[in-house]
Amino acid sequence: MIMKEKERTVDLAIIGGTGSNVTLDNLEEVKVYTPYGSTSAAIAIGDFNGKKIAYIPRHGIDHSIPPHRINFRANIWALKKLGVKFIISPSAVGSLKKKHNKEKFILVDQYIDRTKKRVDTFYENGQLCHIGQADPYCDYLNRLFFETGKELNLDIQNGGVYICIEGPRFSTRAESKIFRQWGGDIVGMTNYPEVVLSAEKEICYCCIAMVTDLDVWAGECSECGIVEFAQKCEICGGTVDKLSVNVPEVIETMGKNVENLKKLLELTIQKIDIERECPCHHSLTDALL
């Protein structure tokens, strides 16, 4: 049943990406009307391992919304309206480094925005906002997820640079190689402007990036394994076979990792102190003109 918005408080929210759907108990769906149009779907509110959370499927319930058409402002505005103070954002990404293998989790701490068409602020007319983004992600949430991931013996890293591209296409090999030169760890299509809009609403934001592929910078040498693609292997001079990314590969890897994500979410969400005073909750201080 879809219910109209009413006064309620939900402290935690998950915005689910490709392959990261969340099952809730005692579920109700709430339609929140926003100044920016419709959210990706009705917001599901229910119990997740005994804790009340809100959930939005970023791409819609039938995964029909491409990355460049997501109504990011509506999603974040609606969650703030419901009282959300913490957003957890699982996202499928491609690896830009050999050390980031498939099924690895990376807790993002920096991004590089390569999107082109997305509205990335709530402050378009009248009052100006120059939101700080030196450290865009919530250090508190990142540390909690990292600690839990280590407890679960997952391949997990605290910190990494997310390069966000416009999509919906994947990168060219030339772009992928440039992103590596810039120091990118992973590449994806959905993290921006979610992160900056969350800051403008003073919400803690954490991106759990899940590596599903090696993007298109990579090739495979019969002698040396994974190397940067070139006509000849820079290590041994042998032939390098091209590797590429496609949708079936992403879905397959996500399917293998879904249980690890579920355990990581279940255990970490129990640890979040929703009464904690976080610097993220004061991100508008000294940002408004």
Structural domain includes residue 289: no
Q: Which residue has the higher pLDDT, 123 or 254?
A: 123
Structural domain includes residue 176: yes
Question: CA 109 from chain center: how many Å?
Answer: 11
The structure tokens listed for 138 are: 């919530």
Asked if 216 contacts 250 with a C-beta cutoff of 8 angstroms, the reply is no
- Specify the length of the chain in residues: 289
Q: What is the pLDDT of residue 240?
A: 87
Buried b (16+ CB within 10 A) or exposed e, 204-223: bbbbbbbbbbbbbbbbbbee
Q: Three-class SS of residue 120?
A: coil
Q: What gap in Å lies between CA 280 and CA 76, rounded to an integer?
A: 15
Q: What is the pLDDT of residue 56?
A: 96
The CATH number of residue 46's host domain is 3.40.50.1580
Q: How confident is the model at residue 230 (pLDDT cuts 50, 70, 90)?
A: confident
Q: What gap in Å lies between CA 250 and CA 255, rounded to an integer?
A: 9
Helices and strands, number each (H, E), in the chain = 5, 15
Neighbours of 243 (CB within 10 A): 18
Structural domain includes residue 243: no
Structural domain includes residue 150: yes
Burial class (CB in 10 A: 0-12, 13-18, 19+), 103: middle
| Catalytic residue status for 213 | yes
Asked if 257 contacts 210 with a C-beta cutoff of 8 angstroms, the reply is yes
Scan for tokens 């991004």, then name that residue: 111
Structural domain includes residue 233: no
With CA atoms as reference, report the closest residue to 94 among 107, 83, 104, 85.
104
Phi-psi region of 6 (alpha: psi -120 to 50; beta: other; left: phi over 0): beta
Question: What's the total number of domains in the chain?
Answer: 1
Structural domain includes residue 149: yes
Q: What is the pLDDT of residue 7?
A: 54
Structural domain includes residue 70: yes
Is the pLDDT reported for residue 217 higher than 70? yes
Q: CA of 26: how far to CAs of 23, 43, 259, in Å?
A: 10, 14, 21
Q: Which of 213, 241, 273, 286 is labelled catalytic? A: 213
Q: How confident is the model at residue 284 (pLDDT cuts 50, 70, 90)?
A: very high
Q: Which of 47, 215, 241, 273 is labelled catalytic? A: 215
Q: What gap in Å lies between CA 200 and CA 190, rounded to an integer?
A: 17
Long-range contacts of 219-222 (CB under 8 A, 24+ apart): 219/243
Average pLDDT in the 257-286 region?
A: 94
Structural domain includes residue 117: yes
Report pLDDT digits (tens) over 74-108: 999 999 999 999 999 999 999 999 999 999 999 99
Q: What gap in Å lies between CA 150 and CA 153, rounded to an integer?
A: 5
Is the pLDDT reported for residue 170 higher than 50? yes
Q: Give the domain extent around 36.
A: 2-210+248-282
Is the pLDDT reported for residue 238 higher than 90? no
Q: What is the pLDDT of residue 2?
A: 47
Q: What is the pLDDT of residue 275?
A: 92
pTM: 0.93
Q: What is the pLDDT of residue 125?
A: 84
| Catalytic residue status for 215 | yes
